[in-house]
Structure 1
Amino acid sequence: MVAIEDTLNERILSQIIDGELSLNWELVDDEGHSIYKRDSLAKYSKDGKILKILPQGTNPNDTGPQFTNIREIWIDAPLSPHEPEEIAGPDEFDGRIELFGLPGGFGAKFFYGLSIRTGYRKIFSEIDQVTQCRIVNMTSAATDPGVQGNQFILSIEKFEEFVRKIKQTKQRADSARYVINSLYASNLVAEITGDPKKKLLPGRLQETQQLRSAISDEAPWTISQLSELAVTFSSHAKDFAEKDPLKLKSVLEDLELVSIETLIHRFENNLRSGKSFSEYQWQKFFEQNDFILKQIFAMPAIYYDREVSVRFADAKNGGQRKADFILYNALSGS
């Protein structure tokens, strides 16, 4: 049994059980006597290639399993467990002993039972409820995901993608909360001064729209309201350009960005739908969104028409050529 350097009266003990290196944690007094401990929070496979997390409750008084069915989470070992000091040590900020090399979303502190962090725990809770699997095998190998015996195969890549989405949602929620709070403050002052109150604008992304709608007291904008907003903006565009040209430029850039994002979403949906779109259907798509074609050229190009004959048929009705689209240079007319 080897003891790692004590940190804030914590100590990690390692021992070999059935050929596997097992890590235990305990809290000790100033004289080194054990006060409280957690057994087998993590262990390494016999060949040292798999790190096995045995998640426990986050409360130091709760040493039970964190999940109903799941007992172990396997990860491709990030570090070779030759010496305990190489795989665990004090965190540089709070001094608590942590396990090195865990993927994002995992709690690395032994004090808290190496549990999954609250924000990212849902995926394991879902696996726990939907399956009876005792092991979640998070692998970097090219293995088909799904249930294999008592294991749920989950690639590290998929889990990291999940963590990124959760972080992204939190950032958008923080942004939506800031917008709502600013709106409340602005409208409170407007109510006192008698100025017109502002309306909550829908966000660019669907997630943002839902977040703002959930936080705000206002109902989401209807298509009719958005159309009215567009008409109002159009009728006052000239005044806008004269009084605040920089703001107008920013609004136009945002609108263009929204248009492109929406278009990319529609384009991807068409590709993934499984339907076989004909050339005519794709031509209609680009005809309705001709500004995409204009992005190809490093000059001001104007859409003219599609299916235009650029060479007519000869006497034998041969040699005819039609261009899918015709655009011309607004400067040179070519």
Structure 2
Amino acid sequence: MARFGIDQSENGRLDIRMASIGQEIEAYFIPSVSPAEGAPAAARADAGVKLLGLVRGSGELRIYPINTLYGTSGYLGPKYDQIRTLVVEISAIDPYFEESELETVLEVLPAGFVKDYAYGLGLLKDCNRIIRLIEKHTACDEIAFTSADESAVEGRVFRLGMSRFAEMWSEIRRINDRGNRAAGRVKDAFVHNDLATVLGLVSMDFSLGRHPVSRVIAKAADGVEELNDQERDALIATLTSESAGLAKARPEKFQKLHREIELVSLDHLIASYEESLEKGENEQYWQTFFDNNAFALQQVFGAPMVSVQSQATVGGGSLAGGGDKIADYLFKNSLTNNVALVEIKKPTTRLLDTREHRTGVYGPSKELNGAVTQVLDQAYQLTSNLATLKHNSRRWDLESYAISCFVVAGRTPPPDEPSKQKSFELYRANSRSVTIVTYDEILERLRLLRNFLAPTDSGTAEG
């Protein structure tokens, strides 16, 4: 068996041998420092520590991951618990290369692989989670990295397409980059706040970042651990069952917790509303949105109102029945039982004509006029049929003293169009029987409420 000794690092060298079959080339690791006599590593060294195997002309490299770091546990033994072989298809290998050029093969290994045998060949540390996952859930002792786009278990071989592996490695690197940036923001904020008083600076909050992974990492770096779904359910159940006791035993802290929960809920509602508004969702979407978030729709009122019925029939029969006279929403005053009707249109509904009626004057659009007339007709029908509706629906807590009518439609004309702003305000201010509210006005009311509820610096100090 021919030998070609190659000096490399301080840990050891490669001993490249031609196998007896004449085509397979093998590379063994020869440690620079012989293991202590009688140690397990000594027996492994005597048996031969094979790192590589290559059949010349096949383009298939067999890697045997071995721990080559002297002084560590399992020295010269398998690098992984179960996986013993990594097989890599390398088309760039010259079928006529010389034995002494075997090290050049390592240079063409794909990204994500260890290319310096002194550190034990195999996958880079961050890719070892792939190894651990395969070992945990399969009986495989070999991973074959193939040119096909695949991932499959075949007996004791796990087949993984090289393109799939490259995508995984790229995403792992991106996660690392996001983590480093997120941790850096937390560190910068910590140093800034720790020295803020001395330097006469105002304290700062670190940015969570926009990417979901970045947000999780930033919170973790600040000591905030994200709960899983099971832990969240358990926490909610505990708060629900213990809320009465907490309110009685710790009223101040319970009140603070209650306020913070409300703020988080309000923040979520505002973010969801903003996103939906920017997407220009249709009328049916907003009907469902307000069904699920009645609090947002309640911002159109100046009195304590509660929802009675969505898609309410006002032309006869029962409130929940079918008919051709249907109001989007029926509300009532929780103190007087006086009813109110809300008709919703799209955020993209035009509020004004596109052409000026006179210089600097715009009339209401056909769509807005139609919505106003529609809700007025619904109010007329409800007044005429309320007694029947109450009887058939078994709802006696409804009164039509003076039905309030609301239209939610469109978006407020922008500041750079003052003539349209003026025309819109003149029109709706003189529409005495119907209150017109735009979608962005609801959003602004939610934001103002959020700012009002947010704790001030003086209010956050613990007593």
TM norm. shorter chain > 0.5: yes
Equivalent of residue 16 in structure 2, options 13, 18, 25: 13
Q: Tell me: CA distance 1:17–1:130, structure 2 relative to 1, closer, same or farther (3 Å).
A: farther
Structure 1 residues 5-154: aligned runs within 5 Å: 5-8=6-9, 10-16=13-19, 19-27=23-31, 39-45=49-55, 47-60=57-70, 62-77=75-90, 78-80=92-94, 82-88=97-103, 99-142=106-149, 144-154=150-160
Segments of 5+ residues of structure 2 without an aligned counterpart are 34-41, 227-259, 289-345, 350-364, 368-415, 418-463
Segments of 5+ residues of structure 1 without an aligned counterpart are 30-34, 90-97, 232-254, 264-279, 291-303, 307-329
Spell out, residue by residue over 1:223-269, the C-alpha distance to the aligned partner (whole angstroms, 9 max, x if none): 836967999xxxxxxxxxxxxxxxxxxxxxxx9xx97xx98xxxxxx
> Separation in 1 of the partners of 2:191 and 2:32?
51
Structure 1 residues 270-309: aligned runs within 5 Å: none
Counterpart of 2:17 in structure 1: which amino acid?
S
Give 3-state SS (helix, strand or coil) of 2:158's partner.
strand
Task: Give the fraction of aligned pairs with identical amino acids, expressed as a percent.
Answer: 19
Whether 1:224 and 2:263 are equivalent positions in the alignment is yes
Q: Tell me: CA distance 1:190–1:229, structure 2 relative to 1, closer, same or farther (3 Å).
A: farther
Structure 1 or 2: larger helix share? 2
- CA contact 1:58–1:115 (8 Å) conserved in 2: no
TM-score, normalised by the number of residues in structure 2: 0.44
Spell out, residue by residue over 1:89-125, the C-alpha distance to the aligned partner (whole angstroms, 9 max, x if none): 5xxxxxxxx8221111211122222132211111011
Spell out, residue by residue over 1:247-293, the C-alpha distance to the aligned partner (whole angstroms, 9 max, x if none): xxxxxxxx9xx97xx98xxxxxxxxxxxxxxxx88xx9xx8799xxx
Spell out, residue by residue over 1:68-96, the C-alpha distance to the aligned partner (whole angstroms, 9 max, x if none): 2211111102413531233315xxxxxxx
Q: Tell me: CA distance 1:17–1:191, structure 2 relative to 1, closer, same or farther (3 Å).
A: farther
Q: Which residue of 2 aligns with 1:324?
A: none
Q: Which residue of 1 aligns with 2:296?
A: none
Give 3-state SS (helix, strand or coil) of 1:178's partner.
helix
> Separation in 2 of the partners of 1:204 and 1:305?
41
> Separation in 2 of the partners of 1:227 and 1:210?
21
How big is the shift at 1:305?
12
> Separation in 2 of the partners of 1:289 and 1:101?
57
Q: Tell me: CA distance 1:150–1:198, structure 2 relative to 1, closer, same or farther (3 Å).
A: same
How big is the shift at 1:40?
1.7
TM-score, normalised by the number of residues in structure 1: 0.58
> Separation in 1 of the partners of 2:108 and 2:171?
21
- CA contact 1:60–1:112 (8 Å) conserved in 2: no
> Separation in 1 of the partners of 2:366 and 2:142?
60
Structure 1 residues 233-248: aligned runs within 5 Å: none
Q: Which residue of 2 aligns with 1:197?
A: 203
> Separation in 1 of the partners of 2:265 and 2:192?
21
How big is the shift at 1:126?
1.1
Spell out, residue by residue over 1:116-170, the C-alpha distance to the aligned partner (whole angstroms, 9 max, x if none): 221111101111121111211110124x421112211111111111111111111
Q: Which residue of 2 aligns with 1:299?
A: none
- CA contact 2:151–2:158 (8 Å) conserved in 1: yes
> Separation in 1 of the partners of 2:162 and 2:217?
28
> Separation in 2 of the partners of 1:53 and 1:226?
54
Q: CA RMSD in A?
A: 4.7
How big is the shift at 1:10?
2.8
Q: Tell me: CA distance 1:15–1:222, structure 2 relative to 1, closer, same or farther (3 Å).
A: farther
The number of equivalent residue pairs is: 244
> Separation in 2 of the partners of 1:64 and 1:119?
21
